[in-house]
Every structure is written in C-alpha cells, then in structure tokens.
Structure 1
Amino acid sequence: MKLYAALVLSIAISVGVRAAPTPSLVISFDDHLHAVAGDRIVEASLDGKPELAPGRIGKALKSGPDTGYVQYPTEGIISAAGGTVEMWVKAVDWKPEDEEFHVFFESRGEGALYLYKYYQGVRLLMLTCENVNGPYTSSAFSLDGWKTGEWHHIAGTWSAEGVLAYADGKPAAKLPAGGLLPLSLGKTFRIGDHPWHIARKTTSLIDEVRIYDRPLSSNHIAAHFQGNYDFTVPLQEDLTRLMHTLDPEKGEIQLRVTTGGADVEDARVHAWMAMVRSKEPLPNSAKGQPCTQGQIIQTFPLLSDKPGEYDLVAEVLLDGKRQFELRKGLTIPSMEWRGNRVGMHDKVLPPWTPLQMKGNTVACWGRTYDYTASALPVQIQSANAAVLSRPVSLDVDVAGQKVNWSKQSSRMVSSTATRAEMIGELEGQSGAQQIRVATKVVAEYDGMLLTELSCKGGDGLPIDRVSLEIPVNAGNALYRHRYAHSWEGPAGLVPDGDGVVDKSAFIPYVWLGDNDRGLFWFCESDEFWPNGDSGDAIEIVRNKGEIVMRFNLLSKGQKLPKDWKWTFGLQATPVKPVPKDWRKWRLDPGVNPTVRIIWPTPEDDSMKYYGYPEATKPDVFSQRIKQLQEQGMKTVPYVCLSFISAACPEWPFFQKQWALGGADTGSSDVARYGAPFAIASPVGKEYADFIVRKTKQFIDQYGIDGVYHDNTHPYSSTRLDAGCGYIRDGKLRPTYPIVGFRNLYRRMYAAVKSLPKETFTMAHMSGKVTIPILAYDDSYLDGEHFRGKVKDSYLDLITLDTFRAEFMGRQWGIMPYFNPEFDAEHAQQVEPTRGMMALLMIHDVSPWPISCNVSVVNEAFSALDKFGYVDAEFIPYFDATPPAITDMKDVYISAYKRDGRALLIVSNLSKEDRKGNITINANRLGVPGKKLITWPDELPLTAVGGQVTLDIPRLGYRMVVVE
C-alpha cells in the first residue's frame, strides 16, 4: 500500500498536480448551524426555526416549511463567475414523484443560481439565469428510483461553459448546459429545503455541505461521493475543453481553453492557439498564452470570412512541454441569405380580408373597433356581439383630483388594405392643472391594434394615479386566460365575487372572453409602468354587468418617467375563420391520417441538427417525404422559429445577436443530438432573415407541405445585444418581444402560404395562448404541461371551464389539437384514453394520438368518419340551446349535424357508470327525431316523448344518430 501511494504521488508530481481543491465554505451541522471558511467561523442567519437531527455523519440540518432554513453571506464564498455546491440530502417523508419543489440551494440577486428538485417529474435541476425574470438554463438529472429515507449526494457546478447537475457522483450530461450566469448575486444565500410557492409539509435532512469557488470536475465530484476529498485531478486531455466565440462584425474569434477543474497551478500551463484551414497544422506564428484561473484565452482576427471548413487548434503545454493537442472544426456558412425579403410582401394573407375604414371605425374580418369622437375604443364588435360595456377609459389623478377629460378626438392619418394609422388626443383638467395625452393607433388587417399613449411634460406634473380600464360585458367575459411564469397560465371562469377578483404584478398578456369571442390585451414590458412591480399592477374587477381589465400604471408616490410613452396591444378574437372542413387534418398515427409530423432524430432520414431546416442526408430524406406523400399525407417537419440548434454553423457567428438566453439541454430528443437547443431572439439582428429564408429553401427543396413550430409563445429576455431588455435604475429588466415573434411568424406564414398547393401548419404552445403570434399558424397544439401529472382522467387536473377557456379553437379562430400525456402504464389502458376522447369530442377538439391508447382513439375516429363529421356543423353542450339535456351527473351532450341527421356524443366524464334519460331537442338539431340508432353499430333505440334511456360507461361515451 505504501509503495502504491508513493507511485501515485510520483505520477501526480510528474503531471503537475497540486493539492486537492479547498472548499470556500464547509457546513457540517455537527454541533451548530454555523459554517467554516478556511480558519474562520461564518455565522448562520436563521429563517424560521431550523433544527439539528441525527445525520449521515454526526448531525444534519432538518429543514422544511415546518422548521426553517439557514442563510450565509455570499461575499468571499460564492462567485457568480463559477463554483460548485455539493451536499448530502435525505428525503424524510417525500418521494421524487411528489409534485413539490425542494429547493436545497438558492443564491438570488439580479440573477440566480438554484439547486433543486423540480415539482413536475423526478428531476434534480442546477439552474442559472442572468436575470431572475428569465430566461432560465438548467441541467437536469433524473431521480428515478430514489426512495424515502435514503441518503443521496447531490451537486451542481456553474461556469462560463454553463451549469451541470450531479446525483450520487454522476453528471447529468457529458457537458454543461450552456447558459448565462447571474448578473449579480444577493448578499446572502440559503441552504435548506424550501417549498417555493407550492405549499407542502414535507421535510429533508441536509448534511456535509461544501461550496467551492470554482467548478469541480466530474472526477472530483465522483470521488467526493465516495468520501475521498483528498482526490486530485491531473491535467488531462479528456477534461480539457476548447471553446470559441465569434464576433463577425469585428471579424474576430476568441478561443478559450479550460483545464476542466484540473488541480494544476496556472503558472505551469500555457497553450498555443490558432485558426487554420481544415486539417492544417498549428502555424509557427502561433504564440503561447498564459493560464489564469484555469482558463487560457486569446482573441485574434478570423483567418477568412469565406464559406468553408476550418479548424480551431490549441496545443497545451505543461512546464513548457507539449501535453496534447485540441482540435475542433469550424464551418463558415454561406451568408447569401442576408437582406432577403422572403415573406415580407405587404399584402393581406389568407383567410383574412382587406382592412376597411368607415369614418373612425376600423373594420377587419369578423370584428370592428369604433373610435367615434374618442381617442380610445368606444366599442369593439366581435362574432356579431358588442364586447365592451362602456368605452375604454384612461383614469388620471393630479394632485389628488381626478382629471375630467373635456375633449377627446382621433383622426385617420393613413389607410391601406393591410394597415391603418390614427392619431388622437385626450384633453382635460384637474383643478388648475391641464393635461394632454396623445394617442397613436396602428391597426393591422388581422385585427391587432397597437396603441401608444404619451404625455409630454408629464414628469413635471403632480400625477398620483394613471390607470387604463377595458370594461367587457359580463356575458362576454365568462373566462380569463393570462400569462404566468409557470408552464401554464391561469385559465377558466373569472373568479367569483365583486370588486377585485384577480390581480398580479406586471404580466405580458390577459384575455377575457366567452365560448365564441373575447378580447386579448398585451404589453411587452413594464418599461413605462412605474407600478409594474406592485401586486395590483393588473386587476380583474367585477362590477355590475361588467368585468374590467384594469391596468394600474402609476400609483401615489410614484413618478411618471420623462418622455413617457406606454404601448399596449388589443386584439379581439376569433382572429380568423376556422375552416368548415378543418377536421380533415388528422395527425398520424390516427386512422386515415392526412398529416405526418416529422420529428427530428439523428437518423439519416431526418434533420441534421435538432429543429433546424436541413436534412442529414438529402437523398434519404427526400425519399421519406415522397413515400409519405404517396400515402396521402401532408409532410410537416418540426422546424422551430423560437429556438435554434447551437450545433448549426450560423450559431457561433450570430450567437451574440440571436441568443435570447437559455437553452434546452435536458429533453431526451434534444440530448440525442448532443447540442443545446437555444432560445432565439425574433428581434435579433438578421435572425428573421436567416431562419425564414433557410426554412423556405428547405420546403422548396423537398416539396414539404407545411411546418410544425414548437415553443410558440413569448420568452422574456434582458439581452440588449439581442434587441431585448431595458435599463431602469442601473439594472437590466426584461422585455417580452411579442410583436417581434408575431412579425417572424407572419413572415413564415406568408412564405408557406405562397406555395401553389394546400398547406398545413401547427404551433405547439402548451399553457400559453398568445393569439397575436398564434394567428399566423393554422392550428395550435395544447396539453404537454400535463406530462407526468395525468393518470386516469384529465378532469382530476382541470375543470371543464378551464378546458373551454383554453383548449377550444372556436373563440380563438385556430384549429384546436390536443397533446395526450399519459404515462406508459395508463397509455396501455382503455379507460384513460376513452375518457380523454369523451372530453375532446364534446368540445370539438382533435387529438394527436401519441402517448395514449391509439386503438381507442381510432375507434372514435372511425365512428366519426362513418357519420361524415369532417364538414358537419358542431352544436356544443354549452350552447344557449343545447342539442340534448340530461339530469345524469357529469354527463354532457354535444352534436354533429349533417345532411338532415345528427350524431349525438353523450359523454360520461365521471368515474362511475351512469344510466338515465336524455331529452333530445329535435328543433335545435333541425331533424324530425323520429328514428334513433346507436352508432356505429346502428342498433335501433326507442324514444318516448323525445327521451331515450342510455347506459354510459365510466370515463366513456355513447354515440346516437338522430334521423
């Protein structure tokens, strides 16, 4: 053993190993809650009443909502630039599959670092964000198999390379998930088991916490899991990384070599770096660069800007002796797409109609906005109903007195088939104070109106309050759907009560509506919203006969910003007509499919990079497209507009301008490609030019029939270089580039609809219906946010009013599709999928039959097809005059009507069998109702006085044809 130890020491010295990394903080919890940093004690600050309990070694911190947490100072211990946190954790009374947050480490300032168990699924996440409002980047490790009462080692690292999560000594991936590090951290950080916003009572034990001021290597963390804290890592090729960043505007490239956490003195390490043509050796002109904090960085001019293949080379030296060479390829892509105008023609796209102006009324397909004698809308009509209960109003108090607007006006400045512009003014007085607010309204042919309010010199007035009210008739505001920072936003009935029934700090959109129409409001940021951080910035107010969206822009004690210009958008829904025969678009593997979504995989017949419009092998991919089209299917590849693969050749050149911040590295389909899927900025310089042109070329090359757009909702960002964010009081704050996403999607929609054939596009947006963007896709796919949650029935998770508010397409104007998310066990069973179909059919929503029992879906599809429901009239159970009624609990009846017949869908959404009578309204159905048969087996039914008795299975349905 002594001989072996001496040999290891000798090898370590020869390869430049120094002492094992020293933690910047150790918390053993053995005798107290204080920590040790070197030779000094760091006192803990208590949050609640955390306890000590028997631990893995000695004692441990017992932490949870019923006990408490501990905090320690950040300075000198944690650096936003890089570090490691590791600890032992024991789930005392919870399981990983419980839908709870367990936040073990939190360091939060302008940005944040978190090590926590996510509430959905069984994942441990190490997360970073430049700004606490997002976007976020995380590395995820599956905790599948963990059990209550077991001790487990967890860790997380962060560095310029990104973040990486570990469990029991194993990394979540080979490489970190690349993301932006925090702009700054708070004065303290927290250790414990915090629940965040999801209440719980469960507890964890935490022991042997160690924090380091540098990211440890995977070898270090594996050794620490085994209890070896004296472990050292030599400088070695498999841990050393060669990375690069490009600045095409400056014509520069920066190479960076990181030693991967090797325990070697900086002064002993150097590297020679260069950019060369493919397979060429390192040139003699390369110069050695020193190592600082485990990194060697050199910036130099690009060898060439001509498209082609190049290599980045670094020769790493230790004590002046060559150790190994690192080499990676660099493709300089063609830039011929720059300045193109694909999809930018100024014309009305189908199915919309030209914008029409009648006096001060803006008319578009299905909707009108009336500005008669007013600077703000007096009335909005949609789907043959007046939506507003009274005119939209701007309420302002000056020196404690309400401003009375003595004059309002607006006039048309310009008008075309696609766009109109109006300007207006509100003039008023409060006491001796006069105030003028100018308005500018830009209306577009799809019914989206962008309004700018400005008040010159307003910052010099003693303004106490500024609020905008949009009052909607109570009957047209049954539901609300609004943004939330979690996956799904609140949707469903407007909460009961009078006065303020819902409120929030700034969020970027809110919709109020009924089963057939609504009104969508949005705003990209709180830049000109001094009250934006307050919990009452946005209020939903119930008054007699109306529901009001109230936006409290300024409250007493706040000041209107200089040159105040606040912009918001309004769009009445539905935004366009849903085609009568929309049900013909059936997603494979449904029976008689007409659409195949081509998901990206690393195989030869798919895409070269994840979500990127380029085939791996053109001839193989072309053959796949041809075969599918010969089978009668439209080919619709997964092509993302809001994300882009970091492996594509354009990303290194334009990352600075295109990166919104954050990337997906944990999804299994993304991980198969081995590269992050980065969030892209729709307003990033030249991004739209590139992705639209690239996608259109892909479509044209292979004769593709449409596109599937994932992640179709607005992401927030503080990235000024990418055209987002703003600065207030010296700090970056986020914006949501809704208009930018809208313009990008419209441009892509225009390119697709220019094809001389019928096309189909789909947008996946689970939990977030952002209609100004979604308007420019044919269909929307919702439901992924139920993954890991749904078991037997979706109604265990949502109510029918939530489903009506969010998942039906009729009030939005888009074809509605549902994404099933049953786990493997429940997908094999009949009842869960049958119950899902019962729910979908009574709302006229079509499923994508994946993650469910496909045979059960196809049984329903076959029966619907036999009736000929594709172009039938749908009459829902919630209609003012429903097609049939019943007193059976949890049983609902909708109908499809066609050619003098009606198909009743009688759905039992409960978990108990039902038997009872249904009363058919033959007048509503427009059929005599003398003959009733079961469907599809066509067995006769006897009706007495318009009533028929049915047995309906639990989580099931019966079909009845009325002739």
Structure 2
Amino acid sequence: MLLKKIFPLILIGGLVPNLIYAQHIYPPQTPKWNADELGNQRAVLRWNASSKQAKAVIPWRNIKVNSDQKVIIVDSLTQKQYEPDAYFNVNEEEGSFMFTPMSGKGIYYVYFLPYQLDKRTNYPTATYLKRTDKTLAKDTGASLASIVRIESVDAFNSNDPMEVIATQKEIDQYKKKHQDDSYFVFPEVRERPIKMNRIPQHWTDDKKNSSILEGKTDRGVFYAFQLGVLPVKLDLKKVKITASPLKSTSGGTIESRYFNCINTDGTDYKGEKLQFNVDVKKDDLQAFWCGFDIPENASPGTYDGTLTIKPENAAAQTVKIILTINEAKSINKGFDEPWKMTRLPWLNSTLAQANTVIKPYTPLQLKGQEVSLLGRKVILDASGFPKQILTFFTPEMTSIGNKANSILNEPIHFIAKGPGSKTENWKSSGIQFTGKEEGKVSWSSINTSENLKMQVEGSIEFDGFMEYTVKITALNDIQLQDIAMQIPFAKDKAIYMIGLGQKGGYRPGSLDWKWDVAKKNQDGAWIGNVNAGIQFSLRDQNYSRPLNTNFYLQKPLILPSSWGNDNKGGININEMGNKVVVNNFSGARSMKKGDELYYNFHLLITPFHPINTEDQWNNRFYHAYKPVETIKASGANVINIHHGNEINPYINYPFVATKEMKEYITKAHEKGLKVKIYNTIREVSNRMYELYPVKSLGQEVFSTGKGGGYSWLQEHLHDNYIAAWYVPEFKDAAIINSGMNRWHNYYVEGMNWLVNNLGIDGIYLDDVAFDRVTMKRIKRVMTQNGHPGIIDLHSANQYNDKDGFNNSANLYLEHFPYINRLWFGEYFDYNNNSPEFLLTEVSGIPFGLMGEMLQDDGNPWRGMLYGMTSRLGWSEKSNPTHLWKAWDDFGIKGSRMIGYWVNDNPVKTDNPAVLATVYQQGKKIMISLASWAPEDTKVHLKVDWKKLNLDPKRLKINAPAIKDFQEAKVFNINDEISIAKNKGCLLIIQ
C-alpha cells in the first residue's frame, strides 16, 4: 500500500502535463531549497507519534544511491540539520533508518543525495557525502513515520517515471512472466525518454502492453518514439529496426521510406550515408529512437503497422504501432516545437553540402595543369603534387596585385630510399583530372618505381585548401630506409613559422621535431611570409580530430601509421642556400609485397584574401548582453550575445529562450545594430531537448569519459561523458562533444533556423571542435539571401600541456577563410612577446584577417600597429571608445594601412625596437608607434616623404589627447619623441 500511495507523487514529470518536458521550462523554476547544500532529492515525512525515536523506510528507487550514502534530516520547525541516529539499510531501492524527531510531531525532510561542490566555479565536481557511521544498526522496531511525498528541488531535477527504478523483485517477476524471450522490447512515447540502462518501475506494471505503441501527431512533422531493447539471455548483435507501411482504414498509406531510426541509419556530417552495427550487451538497456516523417498531404485518420526488431543472432520481435494523424498541418515541419523531438531528422541533414563558392572567393579556373583561385595559383607537376604555388597579394595585404610571389623553390616531392639508401626512381603516368567544379578541382596520378607504386589523389578548393590521399603499395618485399615528403620553400617566403612546438615568430634556422601524440597536438605547421605561405598537416586514413580546449589529453591524436611509424618519423627543417626544406620523414621499415601505407596530407595556401580594413573600422563590437539603448549610445554597432543570460541562457543551445531572443534582435535591428550569438557546439548544454536521443547514440556525440561534474550530470547522465563548462546562475552543465559527428548536421540546420526565424546576423565562436566542412556549411546558411553572416573566433591560447602545445592560429587555420574577425584571447601575452608573435598568432594579418585583444584588455599601443583594440563590454576596464573616437577624428575609414612588416614602409624610426604602422588618408597621416625596447626610449622618425607624396615643410605633428592612452603633445618634424617601455603613441601629420 505504501508504494502505491507514494508512486504517483514520485512521478511529477510524467503525470502533470505541463511538466512532461520539465527540463525545458524557461525561465527555470525557483528551487524549493538550496540543492548545493542539501542535494536535489528529498522525502517529506510526517511524524505523529509521541515516542522519542522514529523509524523511516523510504522507497526512493534511485540508481545514484550507494550503500554508504549519507542522509541529512532537516526539522521543518527549527531548520536544524542532523544525521539519523542509526542506519538500518541503504541501497538504491530504499533506505531505512532511525532518527530523533527533535520538535516532536510535525514535518521532517530527508535529503538522501547530499553533495559538496569543489571550488571550481565553472568546472565544479559534486562529491556525494558518505555517512559518518560506517556500520549498520539493528532494527529496534520503532514506530514508522509516514511518507507525505518524495520530491525534487525543481522539475528539471525530477526523477520522473523513466528514472524510478524497478526493484530486483519486480524485475525477476517480469522475467519469469516472459521467460521464453531472449530479449525484451519496450515501446515508449517521445514524452518519456529512456534515461538509464535499467528498467523503470512502470514498465513492470501488469497494465502496460509492451507490444503496442500508440501516438498522435499532426501532418507534415516528424513523429518520434522509442523502442527500449533489453537482452536478458545473450548479447545481441547488429540489431536493426524496420517498419512496415502504416495504413488507415480509409485507404491512406505512410510508406516505409518515411521511417528512420537514428541509431542504425543516418548521414554523416560530410553527407555520406551511414549504417551502424548496434550491439547490445546482456542486461544493458538500449534506446532506439525512431520515427515517421509524416507527409503534409497525408490523409487524417488512424493508421497502424508493425515495427520489427531483428538482431543478427536472435529471433525477430514485432511491436504494433497505432498512429492517429490529425487534420491539422504543422507549421514549419514542427521545427518550432523541438521539445516534441521534431528536429531529430536534422541529425541526418545534408543542408549546404554542395561545394558552391562563398564570397569573397571566386570560382576556380583550370587551364592545363594550372588552377587559379582568389589571389593564388597552383601549378601541378606530373606527379600530382604542386610544382609551384604562387600568391599575388601585396605586402600591405590590402589588395591583390599582378606580381607573383613564388612560395616553392622546387616541386613538392616524395623520396623513397631502399637498401643502401638507394633512391626509388618514380615514373609518372601524368595527371588525370577527375572532377571539375566551380568550388573544387580533383585529379589523380600514378607514380611507379622498381619496388613501389604511389597512387596520388589530390584536390583543391576555392579557399586554398588542398587535400592529398597518397597510397604507397609495395610491389616487392622491400627494406626501406625512409619514405619522406619534401616541401622546398623559397627562403624569402619562409620568414615566419607557427607550429611543431614553435611559438609564432621567425622561423628557426633549423628544427628537428618528433611525434609525441600522447602529449602534443602537433602534426604540422604554417610557414610563410605575410603575403605568401603554406600550412601543412600530416595525416593517414585513420585520422580523427582530437579534443581541444583543456581536453586534448582525454582524446589525443592517433599516431599516423605511415608518417609516425612507431615514433620513428618526424620533421626536419633546414636552410639550404636559397631554399628552406621541410623534410617530413617516416624512418626505416620493411614492407611485404602488397602492403599499403597512406601518406595523406593537407595544404592550406595563405593568405586567403586581402585584409578588409573597412570592416575593421566600421564594425565595432559590444561583447555583452546589455539594453539595446545602452549599446547604441556607446558607439558600437555589433552586439555579441554570450551564453548565460536571459536571452541565451544555455551554452551552445540557443533554442530555449527564443521568444526573448527574437524580441531583443528585432529591437536592435530597429536601432541599426546587428546581433550575433554564442554557439560553438564544442560542448552541449544539459538543457538540450534532444539530450536523451543523443545519449542513446553512445559515444558518437558525447565523448567517452569518466563522468562526474555537476550533480545533475551525475544523477541523470550517470557515466561515460566528460563534464564541461557550468554556469551557476542557470544551472547549465555542459557535456563535451566528441568532435566530428552528426551533431554538426543538427548545428547547420539549427543555424539555418536561427537566421530565418530569429534574424541573427552572425555567431561568436569560442574555440571550436568541428572542421572546415562544417564551417563552410555554416557560412553558407548564415550568408543566405543577403544575410551578413558575421563570424568572429575567440580562442584561449592552446599552447599549454592541457591542449597539447598547439598554437591557436595553427589549430584553427582551416576556419580562417570563413572568419570575419579574430579575438585571441585568454592567456595571450601582449606585453612579453615579440612583434612577430603578435603578427602571426594574434593579428590574423598574414591570413587576410584582422583581430582584437582580450587578456587584461591587451596592449593598446602595440595593438594599434595591427589595427587592433580591446573589445567593449567584456570588462569594466576595457574601453576602446577613446581610440574609436581618435580613429573617427582622424578619418580612418577609407584610409590606406601600411604595416611595419612592409619592407618599404614610408615611416620607420631610428630604433629597430620601435615599430611604425602608417594610416594614410590623402594628405593626412596617422602613425602608430609601439615599443619593444627594454626601457623608456626616445626616437626620431625616418620618413620617406616622397612615397607619402607630402611636403614636410608644410606639415606639423601632434599627438592628440586620448584618454587612458596618451596626453596631447605637439612636435616639429625632426623632434625626438619619447616612448615609454611597452607603450607607444599615435601621431597625426597634416
């Protein structure tokens, strides 16, 4: 009787209609108590007896409770907290104990999962408290307190019907009734997602029919449901779910082709078909999320059909489905109501996969063996590798000129050395072009030697990305001394370097590097000059993108079997006369006839496009959620809405407070402002509607990990995940995305929905876990129909042990073709690094971008050399508006920027440690000076007046007053100018 009385009270989420989707209530409910002090779950007891001690038996049915669990009792009258006098029995099914009712008759609260949070605000771990007394007492037969209810701190933390476990006795009884079945199938509606790998109590109810699924839906929407499969006699192999057509009594039919099971079939993020072999271990419960995409023109009525569950090694079972299709047609395919799981088809979307050209890029032009693209040209050798790579960008990086910059000194080539270091002589079949599109050109070539065959498949895309699959097959048994690829750079185009353990700056004269994937996220580098460079990355057929941003060590690179060769491989970089040779070697190995190795690699040709100074001067970011009027008054015109606020509360899931977000964006647009939102999917909020369908996919989307983290994750995801960012104000606990998976398809569709339904103008990326395929798709949907599609990328400096000592610019270079602005970032030191570091790792200029500074608000004097300021709104101290005013007073819009990196820059100083960048607006000049001198210094300007087309006799120099930057001063043309250590000045010549 006791169980029957309390069970409906446990099932808050399942019985109250407006709480069916409890985790999706917004704004969140006010908690009933402080969960971080007492835990999320409690029983409410009533004590009416007069004895000094009371007994409690609480059937909490909670999978999280352990045998040594601490229980905290709170006297409702005095609020005094204390432990039971004695514990009798504690397990996941129930707990019994004796306690003293300190206020006599009345209400007592029993918190049965109290925990303590550590001090890491944004990466907290909840440690569940263990009882003080480790022994269990003997039951003395005290009077029993009555249970009023079992409840959670709020609906989001509710252990709804799907998390109320069946007892072992109930499970045994159910198994006995179905003893002929080797596995059980439990159909379940979308409103009650399967959340654990245990049987919930309500499935063992005699009234539940486990062979029928009933539901209702509108037309033109995806109707989702689940099939829980539980093997009880053997492990199931390769489980498949199929559906018959659904038919109505009036003759209507929903064909089987409208059925999908996301666990067994899909489309990957590159648009390729997937089929999953789903094995289910004995006594593990696997949820299969399925559904029918109901056509808009389906006839209303009641339809029925069968669902067939067929493991490879067990008999098939069927479930009858009865689906009532309403007269109503869904709006926008039901995508506006994601709590109904209508967006599950997004996981298999191919939206924006077509390799169409994205502005400002131009279609590829193929002429003979030359491929031309925006500002660049690749001339292919008969081998299939580049014979020469040219760029046409000017040193200023503000335009594309006619002068070719030759990056290579000689063709890129492979060298294979056999016994006695005898070189294999390649003979090429020549290039065969296999694909010619506006956005991509592909080719192949076969190269053979006495003992090896090298099959080369290459391609180039409109942004300068080149992909090579190089398969080397042994024609005979051979003992190889080495297989290496050499990239011979022209020395004057190999000035700077990022990667392979090198911080951004001048390329060293020589470098010896070895693989160390366990600790280092390093598989290539960028080498180049400001207006010409190449990034190279070494891969094989088993490459999987590692995790980043604090989590590299939990999913590092896989050592390429070809290049790595059991850590025999590496890279040597050496100067040889007028060339710099990057020798990517793999070391000695033996190959048997027929053995294959994949020496795959990627190249990225930089810059991607000229820098857009006008965009830098015109678009001024406000990086905070503030009233539109406040931001308008500040002078900013682009608003970045981070997560963790009223209109974008949950990280990387901007689909909850959509009404509030749309109202804000509409108001901003009325004031002439653009709005961008935070959305990266590097991690995913626990508030996402599709949390449990995604969880059912195993480790496809959620990275495998040790679990832990905030209490909600531990109590409702249980295990095998990596806990990520947490926002206390919104109890938003994120889970790490595993990397390249179908959630990227959802991401693209989601961005498309946000653009078309809420009118967002762009996104703010805060480190990313996806690759360039997804980035291209995102840029396409965000720039559709004339939308601005502004994307800015922030990164915390990845050059540390947790991130595998990779440089942020090198890590994310494949995304740069689609980025509008950089914001690098936390842990970047603008005061104690060289100008070459700021140029290559922070400014973005060698790649066609411009940026801003973050850490400690940057160094404004050095930042101005690159056209950078800090960002308004991010910190109370940061206020670039004073510099913005100086820009506008000078008239920086439309000016010509000539950076210090330009050899014939018309303005220099007589101290090489004090650099100058020029902004020319006709006869008016603004000069930015910044110092790397070890102490305060004084300099004279060295000006080529002829290049500036100015007469110095008619000019004067003044340093305008700029708050927090400089005091007003006036100089004569030849005066000495004082520059403080680590600072600089802005001078106006007119």
What TM bracket, shorter-length normalisation?
0.5 to 0.7
Match status 1:218 vs 2:128: yes
Aligned to 1:419: 440
Aligned to 1:647: 687
Q: CA contact under 8 A between 2:936 and 2:981: conserved in structure 1?
A: yes
CA distance in 2, matches of 1:748, 1:859: 35
Following superposition, the deviation at residue 401 of structure 1 comes to 3.0
SS in 2 for 1:348: coil
Following superposition, the deviation at residue 918 of structure 1 comes to 2.4
Pick aligned residue for 2:960 from 922, 929, 936: 936
Deviations 1:247-297, CA, capped at 9 Å, x for gaps: xxxxxx9967789xxxxx989999999956869994544699999xxx997
Aligned to 1:396: 416
Q: CA contact under 8 A between 2:379 and 2:388: conserved in structure 1?
A: yes
* Mapping of residues 691-710 of structure 1, within 5 Å: 691-710=747-766
Q: CA contact under 8 A between 1:503 and 1:540: conserved in structure 2?
A: no
Pick aligned residue for 1:299 from 269, 285, 288: 285
Which amino acid in the other structure matches residue 923 of structure 1?
Answer: K
Distance change (3 Å), C-alpha of 1:301 and 1:390: closer
Aligned to 2:733: 675
TM-score normalised by structure 1 residue count: 0.61
Pick aligned residue for 1:592 from 623, 635, 644: 635
Following superposition, the deviation at residue 696 of structure 1 comes to 0.9
Following superposition, the deviation at residue 750 of structure 1 comes to 0.8
Pick aligned residue for 1:435 from 439, 444, 452: 452
SS in 1 for 2:525: strand
Distance change (3 Å), C-alpha of 1:666 and 1:613: closer
Q: CA contact under 8 A between 1:706 and 1:760: conserved in structure 2?
A: yes
Aligned to 1:607: 648
Aligned to 2:529: 514
CA distance in 1, matches of 2:769, 2:506: 22
Following superposition, the deviation at residue 412 of structure 1 comes to 2.5
CA distance in 1, matches of 2:54, 2:441: 78
* Comparing 622-631 and 695-704, the one that deviates more: 622-631
Match status 1:761 vs 2:791: yes
Distance change (3 Å), C-alpha of 1:708 and 1:396: same
Deviations 1:715-736, CA, capped at 9 Å, x for gaps: xxxxxxxxxxxxxxxxxxxxxx
Match status 1:816 vs 2:851: yes
Distance change (3 Å), C-alpha of 1:707 and 1:241: closer
Q: CA contact under 8 A between 2:643 and 2:652: conserved in structure 1?
A: yes
Q: CA contact under 8 A between 2:474 and 2:591: conserved in structure 1?
A: no
Aligned to 1:836: 859
Distance change (3 Å), C-alpha of 1:633 and 1:659: same
CA distance in 2, matches of 1:296, 1:12: 32
Following superposition, the deviation at residue 773 of structure 1 comes to 2.6
Distance change (3 Å), C-alpha of 1:757 and 1:692: closer
SS in 2 for 1:629: helix
Deviations 1:908-932, CA, capped at 9 Å, x for gaps: 3567543342222323433333312
Aligned to 2:595: 562
Q: CA contact under 8 A between 1:20 and 1:231: conserved in structure 2?
A: no
Q: CA contact under 8 A between 2:684 and 2:736: conserved in structure 1?
A: yes
SS in 2 for 1:456: strand
User: Any stretches of 5+ residues in structure 1 without a counterpart?
Assistant: 1-5, 23-160, 177-216, 245-252, 260-264, 309-328, 715-740, 823-832
Match status 1:857 vs 2:880: yes
Which amino acid in the other structure matches residue 489 of structure 2?
Answer: V
Aligned to 1:795: 831
Which amino acid in the other structure matches residue 852 of structure 2?
Answer: Y
Aligned to 1:919: 942
Following superposition, the deviation at residue 610 of structure 1 comes to 1.7
Match status 1:370 vs 2:397: no
Match status 1:636 vs 2:657: no
Match status 1:544 vs 2:586: no
Following superposition, the deviation at residue 880 of structure 1 comes to 0.8
Which amino acid in the other structure matches residue 474 of structure 1?
Answer: K
Following superposition, the deviation at residue 398 of structure 1 comes to 1.6
Aligned to 1:188: none
Pick aligned residue for 1:899 from 922, 947, 967: 922
CA distance in 1, matches of 2:637, 2:565: 47
Q: CA contact under 8 A between 2:452 and 2:476: conserved in structure 1?
A: no
Distance change (3 Å), C-alpha of 1:955 and 1:173: closer
* Mapping of residues 19-168 of structure 1, within 5 Å: none
Aligned to 1:35: none
Following superposition, the deviation at residue 519 of structure 1 comes to 0.3
Which amino acid in the other structure matches residue 693 of structure 1?
Answer: E
Deviations 1:506-559, CA, capped at 9 Å, x for gaps: 633311112222101124434442635527523333333333322223424688
TM-score normalised by structure 2 residue count: 0.60
Distance change (3 Å), C-alpha of 1:495 and 1:851: farther
Following superposition, the deviation at residue 747 of structure 1 comes to 0.7
Q: CA contact under 8 A between 1:638 and 1:710: conserved in structure 2?
A: yes
CA distance in 2, matches of 1:550, 1:476: 17
Deviations 1:33-77, CA, capped at 9 Å, x for gaps: xxxxxxxxxxxxxxxxxxxxxxxxxxxxxxxxxxxxxxxxxxxxx
SS in 2 for 1:870: coil
Q: CA contact under 8 A between 1:458 and 1:564: conserved in structure 2?
A: no
Aligned to 1:405: 425
SS in 1 for 2:790: coil
* Comparing 451-460 and 565-574, the one that deviates more: 451-460
Aligned to 1:659: 702
CA distance in 2, matches of 1:901, 1:492: 32
SS in 1 for 2:508: coil
SS in 2 for 1:869: coil
Deviations 1:79-111, CA, capped at 9 Å, x for gaps: xxxxxxxxxxxxxxxxxxxxxxxxxxxxxxxxx
SS in 2 for 1:549: strand
User: Any stretches of 5+ residues in structure 2 without a counterpart?
Assistant: 1-50, 71-112, 140-146, 175-185, 194-200, 211-229, 233-280, 295-337, 394-403, 544-558, 624-630, 706-720, 798-807, 962-966
Q: CA contact under 8 A between 2:725 and 2:734: conserved in structure 1?
A: no
Match status 1:622 vs 2:662: yes
SS in 1 for 2:827: helix
Following superposition, the deviation at residue 299 of structure 1 comes to 3.0
Aligned length: 674
Q: CA contact under 8 A between 1:909 and 1:954: conserved in structure 2?
A: yes
CA distance in 2, matches of 1:512, 1:777: 20
Distance change (3 Å), C-alpha of 1:744 and 1:407: same
Following superposition, the deviation at residue 690 of structure 1 comes to 2.0
Deviations 1:439-485, CA, capped at 9 Å, x for gaps: 1111211121111112233584333311111121222122221267x
Percent identity over paired residues: 16
Q: CA contact under 8 A between 2:796 and 2:826: conserved in structure 1?
A: yes
CA distance in 2, matches of 1:11, 1:962: 85
CA distance in 1, matches of 2:55, 2:724: 40
CA distance in 2, matches of 1:561, 1:242: 62
Following superposition, the deviation at residue 951 of structure 1 comes to 2.5
* Mapping of residues 564-579 of structure 1, within 5 Å: 564-579=597-612
Distance change (3 Å), C-alpha of 1:271 and 1:625: farther
Aligned to 1:868: 891
Q: CA contact under 8 A between 2:783 and 2:789: conserved in structure 1?
A: yes
Q: CA contact under 8 A between 2:380 and 2:386: conserved in structure 1?
A: yes
* Comparing 688-697 and 745-754, the one that deviates more: 688-697
Aligned to 2:104: none
Following superposition, the deviation at residue 303 of structure 1 comes to 10
CA distance in 2, matches of 1:680, 1:482: 24
Aligned to 1:880: 903
Aligned to 2:503: 490
CA distance in 1, matches of 2:289, 2:567: 52
* Comparing 631-640 and 235-244, the one that deviates more: 235-244
Following superposition, the deviation at residue 598 of structure 1 comes to 0.9
